[in-house]
């Protein structure tokens, strides 16, 4: 082989080895670039990933491990979680007097609980849970009044579907100067242990054991609060 041919082959071998070494160096050392990096396929990072500037994701981003944020997280949309800590608020709904579906009487906007009518439904409201493992806390309040005299009593029941989750009771004693000798009928609260994503029906039912009707006013003091928390 001539000297010129030998030199040409040597240079080609040297160039090929240099290219291989450069490629190996890219995998063996951290990738540092001062320009844009475009990835058209999957990007797998086995170690830590540090981003000092802005990071924009136009599609979905899936993280199987933990994400630690030392600064602020600004979200233009909503953040949807799938798992919640016990006691963590999942959803909070507060309904005012115009949103609580009353079964009103002819004396609208009052609901009249009649005597001897058995268990009467004051309202029903449908709620769809957001978690398979949650507690649903229900609170309801409104102004109510009764007239007449003698001993009277009323019992309130909070139901979720056909399960009673809360109870209240009020009793007026039949004596001169007698007043309430018990707790109050309203507000009333209850807790339901939920394990499904199907819609539930929340209802308030009142039994009148008195000889006088009970009027529940649908005014600005009326509200229904539903709090779903993790368990």
Cα(132)–Cα(109) distance, rounded to whole angstroms? 37
Residues 6+ positions from 115 with CB-CB distance below 8 Å: 208, 210, 211, 212, 213
Residue 117 pLDDT greater than 70, yes or no: yes
Q: Which residue has the higher pLDDT, 193 or 24?
A: 193
Q: Which residue has the higher pLDDT, 104 or 31?
A: 31
Q: How many CB atoms lie within 10 A of CB 110?
A: 21
Fold assignment, 88-230: Jelly Rolls (2.60.120)
Given a contact cutoff of 8 angstroms between Cβ atoms, the answer to whether 169 and 180 are in contact is no
Give the mean pLDDT of 92-117.
75
Instruction: Determine the pLDDT at residue 45.
Output: 72
pTM over 0.85: no
Residue 106 pLDDT greater than 50, yes or no: no
Q: Which of 63-72, 106-115, 186-195 has the lowest mean pLDDT?
A: 106-115
Cα(116)–Cα(152) distance, rounded to whole angstroms? 12
Tell me which residue has tokens 């394990």: 195
Instruction: Determine the pLDDT at residue 72.
Output: 84
Question: Among residues 150, 213, 223, 159, which one has the least CA distance to residue 186?
Answer: 223
* Per-residue pLDDT tens over the stretch 123-148: 999 999 999 999 999 999 998 888 77
Backbone angles phi, psi at 139, to 5 degrees: -130, 135
Spell out the domain ranges in the chain: 88-230
Hey, which residues does 188 pair with through a beta bridge? 140
Question: Among residues 146, 168, 140, which one has the least CA distance to residue 212?
Answer: 146
The tokens of 169 are what? Answer: 């009771």
Give the mean pLDDT of 53-57.
72
Instruction: Determine the pLDDT at residue 182.
Output: 84
């Amino acid at each position: 082989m001539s000297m010129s041919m030998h030199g040409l082959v040597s240079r080609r071998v040297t160039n090929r080895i240099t290219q291989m070494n450069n490629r190996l160096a890219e995998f063996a050392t951290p990738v540092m670039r001062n320009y844009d990096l475009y990835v058209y396929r999957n990007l797998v990072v086995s170690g830590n990933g540090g981003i000092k500037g802005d990071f924009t994701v136009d599609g979905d981003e899936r993280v199987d491990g933990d994400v630690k944020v030392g600064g602020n997280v600004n979200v233009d949309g909503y953040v949807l979680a799938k798992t919640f800590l016990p006691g963590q608020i999942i959803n909070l709904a507060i309904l005012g007097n115009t949103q609580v579906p009353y079964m009103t009487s002819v004396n609208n906007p009052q609901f009249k609980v009649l005597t001897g009518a058995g268990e009467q439904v004051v309202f029903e409201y449908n709620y769809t849970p957001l978690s398979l493992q949650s507690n649903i806390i229900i609170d309801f309040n409104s102004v109510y009044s009764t007239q007449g005299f003698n001993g009277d009593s009323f019992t309130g029941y909070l139901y979720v579907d056909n399960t009673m989750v809360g109870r209240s009771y009020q009793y007026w004693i039949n004596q001169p100067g007698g007043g309430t000798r018990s707790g109050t009928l309203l507000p009333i609260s209850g807790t339901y242990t939920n394990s499904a994503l199907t819609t539930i029906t929340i209802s308030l039912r009142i039994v009148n054991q008195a000889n006088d009707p009970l009027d529940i006013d649908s005014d600005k003091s009326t509200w229904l609060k539903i709090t779903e928390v993790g368990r």
